[in-house]
Amino acid sequence: MKRTFIRSAGVAGALALTFTVTGCSGSGADSDSASKMASITFWGWAPGYEDAVKSFNDSHPNIKVTYQTVQPGAKGGYQKMLNAVKAGNAPCLAQLGYETLPSFAAQGALQDVSKRAGSAASDYQKAAWNAVSLGDAVYGAPVDTGPMALFYNKKLFDSLGLQPPATWAEYRTAAEKIHASDPKRFVSSPYLDYDYAGLAWQAGANWFAVDKDAWKVSMASAENKKVAEYWQGLAGDGLISSAPMYDQAWYTGLGSGEIATVVGAVWQAGVIKGGAKAGEGQWAVAPMPQWEKGDKKVGNAGGSATAVLKGCKNTAAAWEFAHWLGTDKDAFGMLVEKASLYPAANGLLGLPQLNEDPYFGGQRIYDVFAAAAPDVASGWTWGPLMTSTVADLDDGLGKAWTGKGTIAEALSHAQDSTLTEMRKQGLTVAP
């Protein structure tokens, strides 16, 4: 729940211009000694994490990790983490989406563990390592990545004589045929926040960039308008379901065939399997449709790290667990089985769990994502205030999908609101 995240000294410089969280002194944070027993706390929410922690504790008698489940980040988990950092009582480790890491760094909520990480960079896909690094600082260990593809109801497509669309133009044609076959059938459902971001990412419709240590916001660019107008056209023609993603109505639609596709990241496999059991054996995975025939460009949605929060007093133990979680074969095998996570570690790409999947008709779906991962479009940078940016965007998108505005207007509003908040917080903004 990646990747070609572009990080540079420029991003680090821009983050350096932000405010610093108070009340969470890092004094003594790197003074941990080789004590006989170390105890650290880890906050997260992904399925399988609790079992992984138990496995670690069983095999590492000198380190005890206490796992505490929190709400998923966007549903309150991230704010709980930031509040804990400000209060000086945060856990050492937290599950943190790559998209949110710059926001935490901007608020002084992360701890640099580059001295602990040593030469670990070579253990991970380069883009994943870049996602946890800002300048020379390392703020945690990568866990998974989120390259995107097309999940589609093969049974329905076959019944209508449809092939998986290779282009977005073909996707629209398929959408029209699907809806014409039954007015209750739709090609997809509305996309919000990071799911929508993945669609923009593929098209090179960047949202943020850094120019000489100043932030640029480009959510209302011509490239973004192209993507917005495409999806607005589908919605306007009644080809998009009204069922919100992750709502029970969405799962029901996936299981019944009334929602025919999901353009999503690899981890969506676990979401679909877990919530739409009635669709078992009907679904398959194909490459993401392209804007131009013959292109091989992929978006990304999600992916996460085990981040070290500011104030951690035992970074040696914290790093040992964080690195283990993302590189241990047995532990990550459980994460594949329970959450369909796709590893960021180079040594795990041949896991036996990344094999045929009965839900998807025995297809080796992870082969599709393995081929997609190197084609994740480069140039994407997440902004420093993604929580507020996404909240503003979702407000507008929610209205746009129901015809009470447009997606382009939602992006423009989110850009204006983000620029206002960035200036309010003292961030340097490019003219």
306 pLDDT above the threshold of 70: yes
- The first and second tokens of residue 431, run together, are 């003219």
Q: What separation in angstroms does the CA of 45 have from each of 48, 53, 72, 78, 90? A: 9, 12, 6, 11, 16
Instruction: Give the C-alpha separation, 415 to 401, whole Å.
Output: 19
Instruction: Give the C-alpha separation, 268 to 253, whole Å.
Output: 15
How do residues 226-275 score in pLDDT, each as one tens digit?
999 999 999 999 999 999 999 999 999 999 999 999 999 998 998 999 99
CATH (residue range 9-146+301-353)? 3.40.190.10
Residue of 256, 299, 310 lying closest to 278 (CA atoms): 256
25 pLDDT above the threshold of 50: no
pLDDT band at 33 (very low <50, low <70, confident <90, very high): very low
Same-fold call for 9-146+301-353 versus 148-296+379-424:
yes
Question: What pLDDT, on the 0 to 100 scale, is given for residue 252?
Answer: 98
- The first and second tokens of residue 199, run together, are 């669609």
How do residues 120-173 score in pLDDT, each as one tens digit?
999 998 878 988 998 889 999 999 999 999 999 999 999 999 999 999 999 999
Question: What pLDDT, on the 0 to 100 scale, is given for residue 213?
Answer: 83
Beta-carbon neighbour count of residue 404 at 10 Å?
Answer: 10
What integer is the mean pLDDT of 336-342?
A: 88
pLDDT band at 31 (very low <50, low <70, confident <90, very high): very low
- The first and second tokens of residue 37, run together, are 């027993």
* Structural domain boundaries in the chain: 9-146+301-353, 148-296+379-424
How do residues 99-125 score in pLDDT, each as one tens digit?
999 889 988 999 999 999 989 999 998
Residue of 102, 419, 421, 158 lying closest to 283 (CA atoms): 158
Beta-carbon neighbour count of residue 1 at 10 Å?
Answer: 27
Question: What pLDDT, on the 0 to 100 scale, is given for residue 431?
Answer: 85
Does an H or E element contain 202, and which?
A: helix 193-202
pLDDT band at 36 (very low <50, low <70, confident <90, very high): low
pLDDT band at 351 (very low <50, low <70, confident <90, very high): very high
Q: What is the largest CA-CA distance in the chain?
A: 68
CB 247 within 8 A of CB 253: no
Question: What pLDDT, on the 0 to 100 scale, is given for residue 237?
Answer: 97
pTM of the model: 0.84
Q: What Rg value do the Cα atoms of the chain yield, rounded?
A: 21
Does an H or E element contain 96, and which?
A: strand 93-97
Question: What pLDDT, on the 0 to 100 scale, is given for residue 210?
Answer: 85
91 pLDDT above the threshold of 50: yes
Question: What pLDDT, on the 0 to 100 scale, is given for residue 257?
Answer: 97
Instruction: Give the C-alpha separation, 175 to 423, whole Å.
Output: 42
What integer is the mean pLDDT of 206-215?
A: 89
Instruction: Give the C-alpha separation, 202 to 379, whole Å.
Output: 10
Which phi and psi angles does 365 have, rounded to 5°? -65, -30
3 pLDDT above the threshold of 70: no
CATH superfamily membership of 148-296+379-424: Periplasmic binding protein-like II (3.40.190.10)
What integer is the mean pLDDT of 405-427?
A: 96
Sort 235 into a burial class: Cβ within 10 Å, 0-12 / 13-18 / 19+: buried
